[in-house]
Each structure stands twice: as C-alpha cells, then as structure tokens.
Amino acid sequence: MTPAYLAAVLALGGVALAWLFAWRAVRRAAARVDELHHAVSASEAHGAERERLATDRARAAEAAAAAAVDRSVHDLDDVRLPLHILLENQFGDLNDNQVELIGAARDAAEAAASRLRRARDLFALRPEQLRSEPVRPGDVVASIVAALQSRGGARGVRVVADIAAPLPTVRGDRIRLHEALALVGAACLAATADGGTLHITAAATDPELVVAFEGGRVDVDEIDTAWAARVMAAHGGSLRAIDARVEIRLPR
C-alpha cells in the first residue's frame, strides 16, 4: 500500500468521523434550542424577566452550535487540502483505482463541508443576511431541470417540466435560491422510483410564485431540505411536503 493510497483511506475515515461528530453536535444543539424556545413560550405567564433569560439562553445555544460547525469546517479544511495536493502532485505511481479513491475522498470532504455550512445556516441565517437582487426564476428552474434530466436518465427516471412563461422576476438572494431549489430537486429525484417520473411545475399566482416537485416522498427534516426551507422562510416564503409533492412558495 503506497503512502498516497494510505493517506486517502485515512482521509476518507477522517471525513466520515468529522461529519458524524459534527452532525451529532448540531442535532443535540438543535434539540436544546427547541427546548429553550418552548421554555420561552411556557414562561410568558411568569413574567418578562424569565422570558428574557430563556431567550438569551436560546441565542447562546445557537451561537455555540454555529461555533461548533465552524470548528468542524476548519477541521475538514485540514483534510481537503492534502487531498487536493495528492491529486495535483502525485507522489509516486498511483493506479487508476487509487486516483479514483483520492478523488472520492476529496469530493466527500467538499460535500461534508457544504452540508456543515448549511447546518450552521439552520441556526444563524437571518433575512438581513440575504442579498436583494433581481432573480429570474424561469432561468433558475430551467437549469435545474436540465441537470435533473441528465442525472435521472441513468435510472430511467423521466423528468417532465411545465414552466409557465413568462415567470415574473423576484427579488432575493440568487445564489441561495438556486442552491435551495437544486437541493430540493435532487432530493425529489432520489426519492422517485427507478423508471418513474418526476414532475416539475412553476407558475405565478397573484401574490406568489409556486414551484412544485412531484415524484417520491421526501424527508423534509433532512439537512438539505431543512436548509432549503430555512432559505425560503428567510425570503418570506415557505416549503412544505404533502405526500409525494414538495411545494415551494415565494412572494412575487
């Protein structure tokens, strides 16, 4: 076993452990925040001071969770950098399988870091942190549809889109909105049975823009979809799942 191969194996293990420990910490912190928020509601009858203390504790828990995620992302950076170096400057002869393994480790580290950042947003994202720029939802949805059609083809999943034209321009954080819609689409595609069909619709009603994915039952509490729901809520919108349909609503 070459040193580079061994380093890749150890890196994969490091990514898995870092993600496991960090996600457990985030889930514990989230549970604690929920408990504290419930305590705030329960304390209303006992005076403003108790409510203030509970709110302060909830904020402290959120800050602690965000800090834990930041530390975990920093730890993952220590994994990602050596993997990039190994791929770009191969020390010794590596066969194709070893190169593929190192690449998989790098991609896993990148994905884990992205998910941890999204976990941080579950606590810390506020509307005032969002960009306010014109977004053309028709273009965003069309690009997502194209990507899903390419990925669905490998499993025989048909991705059918019905996008009303023209869709009105909305204001918001274009990068976050695109990522949130893409993550929801990917989750719905993964939940659609092999050989099935994923239907995507986008239309404008009088007060709202509605984008819907209908294919398979999706767990909206999973980190990616939970983050997407937080992004929509920060934009004044919503995300909800009813059976096999996930519906996103944004104010026009």
CA distances from 21 to 16, 17, 46 (A): 9, 6, 37
Q: What are the pLDDT tens digits along the chain (252 aa)? A: 555 555 555 555 555 555 555 556 656 665 665 666 555 555 555 566 666 666 666 666 566 666 666 666 666 666 667 776 766 776 666 777 777 777 777 777 777 777 777 776 666 677 777 888 888 888 899 999 999 998 898 889 999 999 888 888 888 889 889 999 999 999 999 999 999 999 999 998 878 899 999 988 888 888 888 889 988 988 899 999 988 899 999 987
Give me the residue spans of the domains in the chain: 3-124, 133-251
CATH topology of domain 133-251: Heat Shock Protein 90 (3.30.565)
pTM: 0.62
Provide the 8-state DSSP code for 168.
Answer: P
Do residues 152 and 190 lie in contact, with contact meaning Cβ atoms separated by under 8 Å? no
**Per-residue confidence (pLDDT) for residue 172, from 0 to 100:** 87
Whether the CB-CB separation of 212 and 247 falls below 8 Å is answered with yes
| CATH classification number, 3-124, choose in 1.10.8, 1.10.132, 1.25.40, 3.30.70 | 1.10.132
Residues ≥6 apart with Cβ < 8 Å to 79: 11, 14, 15, 18, 105, 109
| pLDDT (0 to 100) of residue 193 | 92
133-251 has the same fold as 3-124: no
CA–centroid distance for 142 within its chain: 20
For the chain, first and last CA: distance in Å? 58
Q: Give the model's pLDDT for residue 61.
A: 59
